[in-house]
A and B are shown apart, each in its own frame.
Chain A
Amino acid sequence: MCLRWANRSHSQILLGQTLSAGAPRWGFTLISPRSLTSLHTCLGAMVHAFLIHTLRAPHAEDTGFCRVLYSCVFAAEKSPDDPRPHGAERDRLLRKEQILAVARQVESMCRLQQQASGRSPMDLPPQSSDEPTSLHEAPHGAFRLAAGDPFQEPRTVVWLGVLSLGFALVLDAHENLLLAEGTLRLLTRFLFDHLRLLAPSANLLLRADRVEAILTRFLPHGQLLFLNDQLVQGLEKELSAAWPL
C-alpha cells in the first residue's frame, strides 16, 4: 500500500497552504463541500480528460519527476461558488494538480504492473520508427477515482504505458470501457505515427497542434466514437492530407 500512496504526498506539499485538518487524503480542500452535493448530476458518459505523461524507469523514482507532457480537459468541472479572491487562479491550479495526480497514479500502477510481470518498460522489442508499435502488448489497465479524490465526480482512468510514455483517459464513471480502451489505443497509435514519437529527435512538447488535430477528429469534445476500421482509415487519410508529415 505504502508504495502506491507514496506519490500522493507531493501534491499536498505543493498545495500546503490550502490544506486543512479535515482534508481528504489528497488534500484538495479547494473543492467546497457544496460542490460535492451535486454528485448525481452527471448522468452522461463522456471523456473528461486526456493526458500524456512520462513514465520513469523503475528504481529511478528519485531522479526527476513525473511530467505531464500534454493534457486536455474537455470541459472544466463546475467551479465552486467561492467568494475568496483569485478564484480563477485557484481553479486552474486545482485542475493542473488533478491531472498531475492522475499521471502519478498511472505511473505508479504501471510500475507495479511491470514489476509484477517481471518486465521493465524498456523490455519491449526495439522497433524501427516506421513500424507500428504493438500496443496490444503494452501494459494497460484501469482504476477508479472516488468522488472528491481528486475530481468532484467519481471517475475511471484507463491507461496505457508505451516505453517511457503514459497515455490516459479520465472517464465519467459509466463510460463504455471497451470503447474507451479501443479509442485510447487508436489515439496512441496515431500519436506515435504522426508525431514520430519513436524517432530520437521527437518532441511532443512543441507539437501540441498535431495532438489537438488528432483529438478533434477521434475524440471530439471527449466524445468516444464508434468508428469501424474503414471509417478510421478514411479519417486518417483526411488527417494526413490536412497535416502532412
Chain B
Amino acid sequence: MFTTGAESLLHQAREIQDEELSRFCSRIVKLLQKDPGAEAVDALRRLFLIISATKYGRRLEKPCMDLLQTTLCSPTCPEQLQLLCAAILREMAPSEGLALSCDHIQNSRTLSLAASVLLAQGDRQDEVRNVGQRALQLLEARQPEGPGPRPLLPVLSKVVSLAPGTLPQAQADLLHRRLVDWLRYASIQQGAAQPSGGFFSAPRTRQPGPVTEVDGAVATDFFTVLSTGQRFTEDQRLNVQAFSMLRTWLLSSGPTSAGAADADDRSELEGSTLSVLSATSATASHLLPPQQQLRAGAFEYCQRLLEQSTRRALRRGDSDLQKSCLVEAVQLLDVLCRQEPSFLYRALSCLKALLGRLCGDPAQARALLPIARFLLSHGEAAAVDSEAICQHLFSSVPAELFPSPMLAFEFAQFCRDSLHLFSPDQGIFKPSFPSLFKLLAWHSPALTSEFVVLLPALVDAGTAVEMLHALLDLPCLTAALDLQLRSSPAASSERPLWDISLRPTSCLEGFRDPQFQGLFQYLLRTKAGGITKRLAPLHRLLQPMASCARVVQCAEAVPTLLQVFFAAVTQVADGALTAQLALVLLERSNFLFQVPQYEAQVHRVMSSQFLALCRLRPALVVELARDLLDFVGSVSGIHSRERMFTAVVWAVGEYLAVSYDRRCTVEQVNRFFESLEALLFEVTQSRRSATLPPCPPQVVTVLMTTLTKLASRSQDLIPRVSLLLSKLRALPQGPAMGSAPRDEDTDTIRTRATELTNLLKMPSVAQFVFTPGTEASTPRFHRDANTALPLALHTVSRLMDREAGLPVA
C-alpha cells in the first residue's frame, strides 16, 4: 500500500541532483560491465524510479545510455535486466541521443523489447515504419531466433494501429496468409507436459488429449480462444494472439484501407466481382487473394465463437471470456461485412439466431449493443430486426440494469456512436429519453459529458416541454431509482448498490404507498408520454433523500444539461413552443426539488434562458402578459427567486413595446406599470418589518429602470415615475431603516434614480435610449458621426456626467 515511506521515496527520487545521478550512472556502468547480478537489478530499479518520478527530463551519461541499449539487445541477458533497461529507456523517451536501431535484431523477443523503446520516441524518425518492417522481415525469415514469431504479433498490431496502411502490400499479404494458418489450423491436441526432469519421467509421458470446449466436452471443430486444455501448444498460443489482433489488423492493414470511407467504397466493388468466391469457406479459398482468404477465415472463426458462446462454461473466467468473445465476434462481423458485403446475409442469419437467445438474458445485455449497432449500420437489409432490438434495448435495459457503471457507459457510447444511424421515422431513440435519463441520473459524474453530446439529438419539438420537466426533476429521479433498488426483490444481495448509511424509511413507505404510485410510475417511465405531471408531492416525500451524495452529484450536473437543452431546443422551437418553455420556466422556478445549492444554480440558468427566449421572440412578453403579471404580483417571489424575478422585470422593460409587437396596447403598459409601481413602493417604502431580509438593490434598480422604460413609451406616466424616483433619491440612510437597503446599496439606488430622472427630462432622448430601433445595433450607427446615435449618446453622457459630478447628499 502507499505509505508515507513511499511518498518520501518519491521525494528523494525527485530531489536527486545531476551530480549524484552521474555518480550513480557510473556505478551502474560498472555493475553492468561485469557479470550483472542482484546488485545491478537493484540499481536499475532505482534508476527507473529516479527517471519516472519526475516529469522533467533526466540526462544520463552516454556510456550509461549505451550500456542500457546493449544490455537490452543482448539475447543472453536475463529477462529481468532486459525489462528494466527497456523500461528505463522508454521512460527517458523521447531521447535525442538514442542509438538503438532494430535493423540488425534477429531475435523476436529482443525486437519486441527494442520496439517498446522505439515506439515511445514519437515517430520523429519514422520509427513506427522501421519497427513494422523489421518485424515483418523476421516473420518472413520463418525461423526467427528465440521464441518464434509470437512476440512479433503485438508489435505489428501496435504498428498498424499507429500508422494504418504503411506496410507494403506484399508483406501484408504474407501476414494475411500466416494469420489464416494460425487462426484456422492450430493443433486440436493439447500441449504436451514439460518433462519434469526426473530420471524416470521421460519414458512415461502421457499422450496429451484433445482440446475441450469450455463446458468440458471434446472440441467439435477447429481450435479457438474458447478451446481449452491443460496445456497449450505454441500454435495454439499463436491462435490466441492472432485472434486478439484480428480486428485491428483487418481495419488497418494494407495500403487500401487507409480510411474507413475508402474501405467502404472499395469493398462494394470487390463484393460485386468476388462475391461468389469470397462466400466460400476458407478451406476452399486457396485461390483467393490473401486478404480475402483472411476475411473468409475470420468469418468462420467468428461463426465458431458464436456457436461456442452458447456452451455453459465450467469456470467463471471462461464465462466472462465468452461474453468478451461474443462482443468481439459481432464487431468483427461488422468489419467483415463492410469490407465484403457478400457476407452480410450469412452474418444476419447468425445474429438473428443469437438475438433470440440473448434478449431474455440480462447478463448478456452488453453483448446486445454491438449486435444492435451491426443491425443499424447495415441498413435496410436489417431494418426490421434493428427496430425490434432497439425497442428492447431502450425500453428495458436501462430500467433494469442502470446500476452497472460499465453498462451505463457503454450504452451512452452506443447511442453516441449510432446517432447518425437512428432513423427519425422509426421514432425509437428520441422518445426514449426518460429511459436514458435513468443512466444519467445514476451515473452523472461519468455520463454528463456523454449527454452533453447526446442531448441535442434527443431534443424534439414534440417532447421538449416534457424533457425540460424531466431535466429539472433529474435529482428526484435519482432518489426514486434509489428507492426502487431498495425495494426490489433482489434487495437482500450481499453488496447493496445504494448508500447504506442512509435509511429513508418514510420515503420507502411512500414508495410503496398506492397514493404515490401513479407519480412514481410517471417518474420512472421508460418512454416519453407527451404529458407532464406535477411532482410537487414527490418533492416533499423525497425530501429526506435530498442531501444524499448521489442526488447532490446529479443536481450539480443539471445546470450544464439545461444549457445544452436550451441551445438545442431553440433551434427547433416555434412561437408556441417558445411560449410554453417560458411558461415552464416561470412555473418551475417555484417548484424545484430542494437539494442544497440546487435552486440557486438552476435559477441562474433559468433566468438567463428566459431572457434568451425573450430575445429570440420578443412577442412573448405581450403573449404571456397575464402570466408575467401574476409572476411579478407578489413580494414573496423577490426573495425566493430573485434572479428569475429580475429577469422577468427586465424582460418587461425591454420588450413590452409596440416596436416589438403591434398587439402591445397602452392599457397593457399601464397595467404592468401599476403593478410594478406598487411593488417598488412596497419594497422600498412601506415594508419595514425586521423579519424580512432587505430587498436586493439589483431588484430595486431593475424595477426603477423598467418603470422608466415603460414611462418613456407611454408618456402620461412620466410624472408618476418622476415622483417615485424623487422619493427614492431622498431615501433616508441609517440602520433605523429596517428592511431598507444598506448604505452603499442606498447610494447605488440614489445614483440610478438621479440618472433616470435626468433622462426623463428629455422624453425623446429617453425613448431613444430605452427603446432603440433594431438598426441601432448595426455598425453604421456607431461609425457614422452624422447619424442620431452618436449624438444621442453624447447627450446622455452629458446628462449623466453632470449629475455624477455632484456630491451625493
Q: Which residues of A contact B (CB under 8 A)?
A: 1-4, 40-46, 54, 64, 67, 69-79, 88-89, 91-93, 96-97, 100, 108-109, 112-113, 115-119, 137, 140-144, 146, 156, 158, 163-165, 172, 174, 176-179, 181-182, 197-198, 200, 202-209, 212-213, 216, 220-232, 234, 242-243
Contact = CB atoms under 8 A, between A and B. Distances in A.
Given A74-B158, A209-B83, A226-B325, A89 B549 contact: no
24 contacts: A3-B553, A41-B164, A43-B251, A45-B248, A72-B87, A78-B123, A79-B122, A88-B57, A97-B55, A117-B498, A117-B500, A142-B406, A142-B410, A165-B1, A174-B331, A176-B328, A178-B320, A203-B5, A205-B49, A206-B46, A208-B84, A209-B45, A221-B154, A229-B321
A117 to B, nearest CB: 6
A116 B55 CA distance: 34
Interface of B: 1-3, 5-7, 9-10, 13, 41-42, 44-46, 48-49, 52-53, 55-57, 79-80, 83-84, 86-87, 90, 93-96, 112, 115-116, 119-124, 128, 151, 153-155, 157-158, 160-164, 214, 225-232, 237, 240-241, 243-245, 247-248, 251-252, 257, 259-260, 315-318, 320-321, 323-325, 327-328, 331, 366, 405-406, 409-410, 413, 443, 445-446, 448-450, 495, 497-502, 548-550, 553, 556-557, 559-560
A115 B161 contact: no
Contacts of B42: 206
A11 B63 CA distance: 35
A142 B405 contact: yes
Q: Which of B120, B498, B557 has the most CB of A within 10 A?
A: B120
Contact of B162 (A72, A75, A113, A181): A75
A219 to B, nearest CB: 9
Given A67-B10, A88-B94, A182-B320, A43 B79 contact: no
A212 B79 CA distance: 10
B151 A146 contact: no
Contact of B49 (A89, A206, A229): A206
Contact of B366 (A178, A209, A232): A178
7 closest A-B pairs by beta carbon, nearest first, are A44-B161, A118-B499, A79-B122, A96-B55, A229-B317, A44-B248, A75-B119
B7 A220 contact: no
Contacts of B124: 79
Contact of B409 (A73, A143, A198, A209): A143
B9 to A, nearest CB: 5
Contacts of A174: 331
B266 to A, nearest CB: 15
Contacts of B5: 203
A117 B497 contact: yes
A43 B164 CA distance: 7
Given A143-B446, A229-B321, A75 B405 contact: no
Contacts, number: 282
Contacts of A165: 1-2
Contacts of B450: 144
B501 to A, nearest CB: 4
Contacts of B244: 223-226
B228 A43 contact: no
Nearest to A243: B80
A3 B553 CA distance: 9
A193 B10 CA distance: 23
A67 B252 CA distance: 36
A156 B412 CA distance: 12
A176 B243 CA distance: 13
Contacts of A70: 52
A140 B325 contact: no
A53 B55 CA distance: 15
Contacts of B157: 44, 46, 221, 223
B88 to A, nearest CB: 9
A203 B247 contact: no
A102 B321 CA distance: 27
A141 B6 contact: no
A168 to B, nearest CB: 13
Contact of A226 (B13, B163, B316, B321): B321
A182 B497 contact: no
A142 to B, nearest CB: 4
Contacts of B161: 42-46, 172
B758 to A, nearest CB: 40
Given A46-B157, A212-B86, A221-B154, A4 B320 contact: no
Given A67-B2, A88-B95, A228-B317, A44 B499 contact: no
B119 A43 contact: no
